[in-house]
Structure 1
Amino acid sequence: MIPILYLVLPTLGIYIMLSIFFLRRPHLLHTAWAPTFPICLAAHRGGSGERLENTMEAIKNSMAQRADILELDCQLTRDGVVVVSHDKNLSRQSGLNKDVDSLDFKELPLYKEELEIYFSPGHFAHGSDRHMIRLEDVFQKFPRMPTIVEIKEKNEELIHKVANLARSFDRSEITIWASEKNSIMKKCKAANPEMPTAFTILRSIWILLLYYLGLLPFVSIPEKFFFCFLPTIINRTYFPFPCGWMNQLSAVVTKWIIMRKSLIQHLRDRGVQVLFWCLNEESDFEVAFNLGASGVMTDFPTALRHYLDKKEEPRAPASST
């Protein structure tokens, strides 16, 4: 037993030192890659805290705040139109208890006059524009605006239509595939491999496991975006579980697991942009950027723009006495 320990312990020590060394110097193992469009301000659902979500008015408002990227969800209508809509069922958004794919585009209802902001419970968004829009409308009006397109269901027609829209507007490199599920992401990548991808839930868990095992520096990372919730918003503005104690426990556990500066820095050094969602308060912006995040996804682009501009303000020189 003792001779084995003499062999195992030095080997383990060397492995740990090498892991830490390459975690901090990934350029020695991997080709450096710089983002073509760095992101600080990502507008969630087009900026759903200041105007009605996913409307052209919300997107224009976010553009006025110099948003770096839009985050949009897509559904497919009965007549094959890709529309920007978070929900498949229209009850929450419009009060009509029908699915998007059961209606033609011209039959889609208006949004309600006010919508509760999901990540700011008790607060409501309003706007003069209540129309649902096509993804094509967004690409046509803002052809060079980077956009995250989240696909929620394994709908191959929807996936191929999004892929073809990105190609036809010559914007594959600035249109990002996002999905929670590996099976959907696989189909997205096959439909348009030129579009960058974000981590799925399973891939995110896998990356965290590799990080804690010390193996992360030695594996390839094809994804270019890591969208992650900020654990400190759990049980405050984000309630993933119906029970309070489960939310409290998940906040503690995920805070310990995810909030690691060395992990975030390593991903960024590997060319992965790390964005925390969905943050709507200045204190949360501060936490995210102090952790080393590339950017923040928010419902309130104006609030985040004010925060970013304030951080960039040059400090007045100290007066001499």
Structure 2
Amino acid sequence: MTQIFAHRGSAGTHPENTMMSFHEALRSGAEGIELDVQLSKDGQVVIIHDESVDRTTNGKGYVKDLNFDEIKAFNASHKFTKQYGKTSIPTLEEFFLWFKYTALICNIELKNGVYPYPGLEEKVIGLIRKFNLQERIILSSFNHYSIVHCFQLAPEIEIAPIYSNGLFMPWIYARSIRGKAIHPSIKVISDSMIIESMKAGIAVRPYTVNSEAHMKRLIDIKCSAFFTDFPEKAVRSRKISRNKS
């Protein structure tokens, strides 16, 4: 069965990377959640996608330049405020306190391609071990040096490279860095490459799959999983596909 990962939670319908969005992902019937982590100025692991808070909150500034108390004070509902009221940027620890009581899987993307955030890998792995979640976490990044470092620190936690350009025989590359999966942009992966990769024992989880046509295509070829901003739509699409077969 193709697993569905809610991208930044249910980001198409709720404020992305917030507990509100993660709760909706669970309600929708998705198997997994994808979220992004960075470090605040005072070293807290916070869940946010952009390097700055400008787009997703009512605040301004770079995550790396703001203390956690400042970040926490911003309204992260932003464009969804009228619909859902205010909410805040969560820490990874706050997320884990809820997540540990679910049956979900979580893909944590380390956002350290622009700013390196020394110690991010150690802090994230420390929290995963604190909550004993090693079996339910995938660590991914566009910064492949970072996930190799993660593997060296914690070989028991799955790693997966993210990429957005054509990669020749990506299953061989994934194996070479000890990854168990690849996370390609949906724009750069063909059906034959997905099938070939899975045959080689490397899972394929494309991002960001929001059109029903793409969802159906991936479900029909039994792709390992995909990331979507609309988990409810994806779960429905999978159900329809199953009923037809």
TM-score range, shorter chain: 0.7 to 0.9
Q: Contact 2:162 / 2:184 at 8 angstroms: preserved in 1? A: no
Equivalent position amino acid for 2:147 in 1: M
Corresponding residue number in structure 1 for 2:10: 47
Equivalenced residue count is 236
Q: Deviations over 1:105-147 (max 9, x none)?
A: 22111125317xxxxxxxx995334211011111111115311
Give 1:229's match in structure 2, choosing from 185, 190, 199.
Answer: 185
Q: Contact 1:227 / 1:277 at 8 angstroms: preserved in 2? A: yes
Change (3 A) 1:290 1:221: farther
Cα distance in 2 for partners of 1:183, 1:306 equals 37
Farther-moved stretch of structure 1 (167-176 vs 152-161): 152-161
Corresponding residue number in structure 2 for 1:293: 223
Corresponding residue number in structure 1 for 2:108: 149
- Matching of residues 75-86 of structure 1 within 5 Å: 75-86=38-49
TM-fit CA distance, 1:156: 2.8
Unaligned runs of 5+ in 2: none
Equivalent position amino acid for 2:126 in 1: N
Equivalent position amino acid for 1:111 in 2: A
Corresponding residue number in structure 2 for 1:177: 139
Identical counterparts, % of pairs: 25
Secondary structure of 2:217's partner?
helix
CA RMSD across the alignment: 2.6
Equivalent position amino acid for 1:149 in 2: I
TM-fit CA distance, 1:272: 2.2
Larger Rg: 1
Change (3 A) 1:130 1:166: same
Q: Contact 2:34 / 2:107 at 8 angstroms: preserved in 1? A: yes
Give 2:120's match in structure 1, choosing from 158, 169, 174.
Answer: 158
Equivalent position amino acid for 1:94 in 2: T
Report whether the alignment pairs 1:111 with 2:76.
Answer: yes
Farther-moved stretch of structure 1 (95-104 vs 124-133): 124-133
Corresponding residue number in structure 2 for 1:94: 57
- Determine which structure has the larger strand proportion and give its number: 2
Unaligned runs of 5+ in 1: 1-37, 116-123, 232-253, 316-321
> Runs of 4 or more off by more than 6 Å in structure 1?
none
Secondary structure of 1:222's partner?
coil
Q: Contact 1:89 / 1:99 at 8 angstroms: preserved in 2? A: yes
TM-fit CA distance, 1:259: 1.0
TM-fit CA distance, 1:207: 2.7
Q: Contact 1:275 / 1:293 at 8 angstroms: preserved in 2? A: yes
Change (3 A) 1:43 1:200: closer
TM-fit CA distance, 1:84: 0.6
Equivalent position amino acid for 1:183 in 2: Y
Equivalent position amino acid for 1:259 in 2: S
Farther-moved stretch of structure 1 (106-115 vs 280-289): 106-115
Change (3 A) 1:130 1:202: closer
Q: Contact 1:56 / 1:133 at 8 angstroms: preserved in 2? A: yes
Secondary structure of 1:277's partner?
coil
TM-fit CA distance, 1:269: 3.0
TM-fit CA distance, 1:85: 0.3
Q: Deviations over 1:47-72 (max 9, x none)?
A: 20110001111100110112111111
Normalized against structure 2, the TM-score is what?
Answer: 0.85
TM-fit CA distance, 1:279: 1.4
